[in-house]
Amino acid sequence: MAGELTRMSAAGLAAAVAAGEVSALEVTEAHLARIAEVDGAVHAFLHVAADGARRAARAVDERRAAGEPLGPLAGVPLALKDLFTTTDMPTTCGSAILNGWRPPYDATITRRLREAGVVILGKTNMDEFAMGSSTENSAFGPSHNPWDLARVPGGSSGGSSAAVAAFEAPLGIGTDTGGSIRQPAAVCGVIGVKPTYGGSSRYGVVAFASSLDTPGPLARTVLDAALLHETMSGHDPCDSTSVDAPVPPVVAAARQADVSGLTIGVVPELGGEGYQRGVLTRFGEAVELLESLGAKVVEVSCPHFSYALPAYYLIAPSECSSNLARFDAMRYGLRVGDDGTRSAEEVMSLTREQGFGAEVKRRIMLGTYALSSGYYDAYYGKAQQVRTLIIRDFEAAFEQVDVLVSPSTPTTAFPLGERVDDPLAMYVADLCTIPSDLAGNAALSVPCGLAPEDGLPVGLQIMAPALADDRLYRVGAAVEAALDSRRGHPLLDDAKGLT
Amino acid sequence: MTGQAGRTGKAARGEAALVPFGEALTRYEPVIGLETHVELGTVTKMFCGCPARFGGEPNTLVCPVCLGLPGSLPVANRAAIEYTIRIGLALNCSIADLCRFARKNYFYPDMPKNFQISQYDEPLCTNGWLDIWVTDPGAGGGGRQVRVGIERVHLEEDTGKSLHVGGATGRIHGADYSLVDYNRAGIPLVEIVTKPVEGTGALAPLVAHTYVSELRDLLRALAVSDVRMEEGSLRCDVNTSLAPRGSGVWGTRTETKNVNSLRSVERAVRYEIERQAAVLDAGGQVTLETRHFHEDTGVTTAGRNKEEAQDYRYFPEPDLVPVAPSREWVEQIRAALPELPAARRARLTAEWGLSDSEFTMIHNAGAVELVAQTVAAGAAPADARKWWLGELARRANETGRGLAELPITPGEVARVSALVASGALNDKLARQVIEGVLAREGTPDEVVAARGLAVVSDEGALLAAVDEAIAANPEVAQKVRDGRVAAAGALVGAVMKATRGQADAARARELILTRLGQS
């Protein structure tokens, strides 16, 4: 039974709990057992809150016993990226500088999960402060891809994607700044969604790049992702950039799973040279599939997407250089060199020198430079202009089509260590995902098969206009259903390499 | 132990050569500018729900947002934006249709996020002015109106407060340790920046003083801040530079901080004029720098060198949405503005029939409100002014209190004034009534009754006193009979003395002159 429980969808588990077929506590125990079994190899979690999870599960069982109504995800376990503040768990952001920090407040999303009866199993590994595409920038060691433990699970939300792929949790939450949900979802063969910017609250999400950071769901089915999307989203008065509008009808769209009548645009700029052959093969098949399901497919050029990556690597580091200034050893976190002989300034420097990893320092320096007097216009200012051009590309495209599609990533999961010394090669992993972040639009990655040459998952990226998140689910669920009927469950099989 | 060794020289104390003020002005024309920070009196802080209150146990009025904890986000306080617009409108500024907050990045332990949310190239209010009335002591109490241009009014958050313990200077360098109180962090702060003020010559220090004083009155009238300089809710930086007279070329400016009283504002400008003149006279160059004013010695000493100042790397605050005050909202705020000090001054000067300098005297005595209330209670403006600036000002001085602290109400002053006007009291008796009221003996009428203070209006009794006075002073009486009418004053005095001041002196004089055949 325990093994079966970890294979079930979130929707299925919630229904079983609500029907009294299984207790939330049993569901939680099954997943804790699975974590105990495989996480030594996967290292998805930085912190497992077994007792807290059991308490949350028991509370759901008590509410059910008392006849209280339960939400659509009550009793379902979840893996939370260690970027969200939690009063009952540490929040490290994958950084030594916050090692052991226990926040005094819950993120809005943490609170909403608790209120919905979602059982938070623990906090997942990530690239330090969400900067990276492999979890190799974590101060606490990388996570491993459940499809091949020698490969990266993607990043920065690689802990959450690995946990979901390895059946340690049916649901995960990540954050997407340049692709940090969709890219790990794609290479782990799960669904990952970047909602419209402002659609999900950033309050209590430790900031990397404020104008880009977007929390979103990871799951093994499109419907599960939609259920979590709906549960975690909605206006938050504590976040000024939060959208004050109803959550798009994502659950209904996931159930609709129908693309007939939709016009789907293929972006030629996101493909071709530099892309892995098997990725392009599966992507091409997915496009054909959509056409066969009744969608009209056209090609839509987005000429400025080629500049998205360089613009991103000015805007995101600029914001991060300011956001990460607060880690100065004065109030919380690591403090180095405070031996009574050093000035506050020296302690700040030593702490930041030792507390931050190389990639974080690289981006702080890039951003500090880009914002400097005399360089601002040429770098930050110019990047913002590029951002505007990318937004216009999207606007023009969405006048012709309902959604755009592309591969989620140029390649499948790459081997651990392959790109750690080559930042540019690492940055390229986010080539397809960055435009939607810069524009603040919604996008989703759904598995579309395994690359023939390496047998690793390939993701199809679906991009929709801001506040049209429901279109992602409509298309994503249609792809999922079609592939499901043709290929069985290739993406839900036992991952190789796990005992 | 004291850490003062080797710091006894003049230069080491930061004291500079000076040129006497008057002499400095013969060669140089001062240009001043003021940056005033005002803590707004909103209920909550700028970006969170913590109370925006002065005092409180250290670090008790804080939350994740004003502590800048990881993950926390700011939400702008609408009341603070409204207060800023109110200030901008009162200073005749344009209000931006759309403006953004910006981050000012620098590291300091009392800045929770190591950046301050401020405004940079898009302030909420720009391009206004404040007309001030500067009394020139050298012009026999006359004055002149000076229009101080306002460059911008913007909104930002205050920092925490550092207390540097140990060390000689009370500053961070050399301190044994430092304590930080974040209660102040996030209190809304408005910065009001003037345009350079030139052409005021020797009045420059006074212009600076008067500007801050009148700005303070304005802010108080707007009810946006308690504007207490001593508590730091109003803080002032003073920029000073000198232009060689006639050159029209402005010199390098200095920015003097830690100017914590109106008098210090004046002293700081004066000192900088004297110091910079000496530097220029010696063929030197004024350094672009921040200087620190010392209340005790009245000197300024060099602080941070602005040439080496850090680059604040301003950029638009991505955690906040732009502020876009609608025209309707701005007009509502404008319509709700109270009467401002300048308009009130013009109105009252006209209503009370006073000259500008007479009004200025009332203003400088802090008696405008008291006189206005006394007039409202029925007194003639001239009488109200006479009592508050005369007898009551003297009493206040004697007891070292402010006029408003005297235990007498404007209504009571008006009553005394009315008793005099009706002839029931004369001036001397009125002063006794006031003395009684100040001694808390009761209302003016109660004091009159209790002390038996009433003008003797019984003609018989008065006539008897007159006859007695004439009989007692035959030589004087003869002089009056001989036509020297002025001599009657001595007889009036005798009558008043005999009636213990309760006689109507004018009536007594009439009776004396009648008796002596002079009317």
Query: pLDDT tens, A288-335?
Result: 999 999 999 999 999 999 999 999 999 999 999 999 999 999 999 999
User: What token pair was written down for A233?
Assistant: 């989203």
Q: Which of A128, A323, A341, A377 would best serve as a mutation to test chain B binding (most B beta carbons within 10 A)?
A: A323
With cut-offs at 50, 70 and 90, classify the pLDDT of residue B357: confident
Q: Is A382 a catalytic residue?
A: no
Active site residue: A9, A23, A143, A156, which one? A156
User: What token pair was written down for B402?
Assistant: 């402010």
With cut-offs at 50, 70 and 90, classify the pLDDT of residue B142: low
- Give the per-residue pLDDT at A437: 98
- Give the per-residue pLDDT at B495: 87
Closest CA to A443 of A157, A185, A211, A128: A185
Residues 6+ apart with CB under 8 A from A293: A258, A259, A260, A478, A482
Residues 6+ apart with CB under 8 A from B50: B44, B61, B62, B63, B65, B66, B186
Q: What mean pLDDT do residues B394-400 have? A: 88
Exposed/middle/buried for B461, CB within 10 Å: 0-12, 13-18, 19+? Answer: middle
CA B288 to CA B309: how far, in whole Å? 10
> Residue B309's closest chain A neighbor by CA?
A373
- Give the per-residue pLDDT at B6: 38
- Give the per-residue pLDDT at A195: 98
CB-defined contacts A:B, below 8 A: 102
Sort out which chain A residues have CB atoms less than 8 A from B115's CB and list them: 322, 325
User: What token pair was written down for A157?
Assistant: 């939300």
CA B515 to CA A368: how far, in whole Å? 100
> Residue A105's closest chain B neighbor by CA?
B64
What is the per-residue pLDDT across A250-281, written as a single tens digit (0 to 9) for each?
A: 999 999 999 999 999 999 999 988 999 999 99
Per this entry, what is the length of chain B? 519
- The DSSP bridge partners found for residue B197 are B32
Sort out which chain A residues have CB atoms less than 8 A from B321's CB and list them: 240-241
Q: Which of B100, B313, B314, B323 would best serve as a mutation to test chain A binding (most A beta carbons within 10 A)?
A: B313
Q: What is the CATH number of domain B459-515?
A: 1.10.10
CB B419 within 8 A of CB B500: no
Categorise residue B170: left if φ over 0, alpha if ψ from -120 to 50, beta otherwise.
Answer: left
> Residue A323's closest chain B neighbor by CA?
B113
A292 interface with B at CB cutoff 8 Å: no
- Give the per-residue pLDDT at A343: 86
Of A103, A321, A371, the CB nearest to B71: A103
Whether B198 shows a pLDDT value over 60: the answer reads: yes
Active site residue: A9, A23, A81, A95, which one? A81
* Cα dihedral B63, B65, B71, B76 sign: positive
Q: Where are the domains of chain A?
A: 2-303+389-492
With cut-offs at 50, 70 and 90, classify the pLDDT of residue B500: confident
In chain B, list all ranges with CATH 1.10.10. 459-515
- Give the per-residue pLDDT at B399: 86
Phi/psi of residue B239, each to 5°? -100, 135
CA angle A254, A80, A109 (to 5 degrees): 70
Strands B177-181 and A442-450: unpaired
CA A255 to CA B332: how far, in whole Å? 50
Per-range mean pLDDT, top range of B135-144, B183-192, B371-380: B183-192
Taking the CB of residue B489, how many other CB atoms lie within 10 A of it?
14
Closest CA to B186 of B300, B283, B110: B110
CA A490 to CA A483: how far, in whole Å? 9
Residue A162's H or E segment, with its range, is helix A158-165
Check A344 against B320: CB less than 8 A apart: no
Categorise residue B283: left if φ over 0, alpha if ψ from -120 to 50, beta otherwise.
Answer: left
Check A203 against B313: CB less than 8 A apart: no
Per this entry, what is the length of chain A? 499
In whole numbers, what is the pLDDT of chain B averaged over residues?
Answer: 89
Q: Is A292 a catalytic residue?
A: no
CA B134 to CA B146: how far, in whole Å? 7
Q: What mean pLDDT do residues B187-208 have? A: 96
Phi/psi of residue B146, each to 5°? -125, 130
Q: What is the CATH number of domain A2-303+389-492?
A: 3.90.1300.10
CB B330 within 8 A of CB B82: no
- Give the per-residue pLDDT at B505: 82
Residue B518's H or E segment, with its range, is none
In whole numbers, what is the pLDDT of chain A averaged over residues?
Answer: 95
CB A245 within 8 A of CB A220: no
With cut-offs at 50, 70 and 90, classify the pLDDT of residue B170: low
Sort out which chain B residues have CB atoms less than 8 A from A315's CB and list them: none
- Give the per-residue pLDDT at B309: 64
Closest CA to A208 of A125, A319, A308: A319
With cut-offs at 50, 70 and 90, classify the pLDDT of residue B515: confident
Taking the CB of residue B199, how many other CB atoms lie within 10 A of it?
11
Taking the CB of residue A217, how many other CB atoms lie within 10 A of it?
32
Check A345 against B73: CB less than 8 A apart: no
Closest CA to A210 of A198, A192, A199: A198
Categorise residue A212: left if φ over 0, alpha if ψ from -120 to 50, beta otherwise.
Answer: alpha
- What ranges make up the beta strands (E) of B101-218? 102-105, 115-118, 125-135, 143-157, 161-165, 177-181, 188-194, 197-198
Maximum Cα–Cα distance across chain B? 100
Residues 6+ apart with CB under 8 A from A84: A91, A107, A109, A110, A123, A173, A204, A205, A206, A215, B71
Q: Which of A315, A331, A341 would best serve as a mutation to test chain B binding (most B beta carbons within 10 A)?
A: A331
Q: What mean pLDDT do residues B320-337 have? A: 97
3-state SS, residue A193: strand
Check A325 against B113: CB less than 8 A apart: yes
Of A206, A237, A321, the CB nearest to B70: A206
Residues 6+ apart with CB under 8 A from B400: none
- Give the per-residue pLDDT at A101: 96
- Give the per-residue pLDDT at B9: 45
Check A91 against B67: CB less than 8 A apart: no
Residues in chain A predicted with pLDDT less than 50, given as ranges, are: 486-492, 497, 499
Share of chain A above pLDDT 90, in %: 93
User: Which is higher by pLDDT, A306 or B165?
Assistant: A306
Distance (Å) of CA A198 to CA A242, A392, A433, A466, B321: 4, 19, 17, 9, 11
What is the per-residue pLDDT across B343-352, written as a single tens digit (0 to 9) for each?
A: 888 899 999 9
CB A161 within 8 A of CB A153: yes
Sort out which chain A residues have CB atoms less than 8 A from B109's CB and list them: 328, 330, 344
Strands B143-157 and B102-105: unpaired
Fill in the DSSP letter of residue B485.
G
CB A111 within 8 A of CB A88: no
Check A237 against B75: CB less than 8 A apart: yes
Check A240 against B113: CB less than 8 A apart: no
pTM recorded for the entire structure: 0.88
> Residue A332's closest chain B neighbor by CA?
B69
In this prediction the ipTM stands at 0.95
CA B443 to CA B413: how far, in whole Å? 10
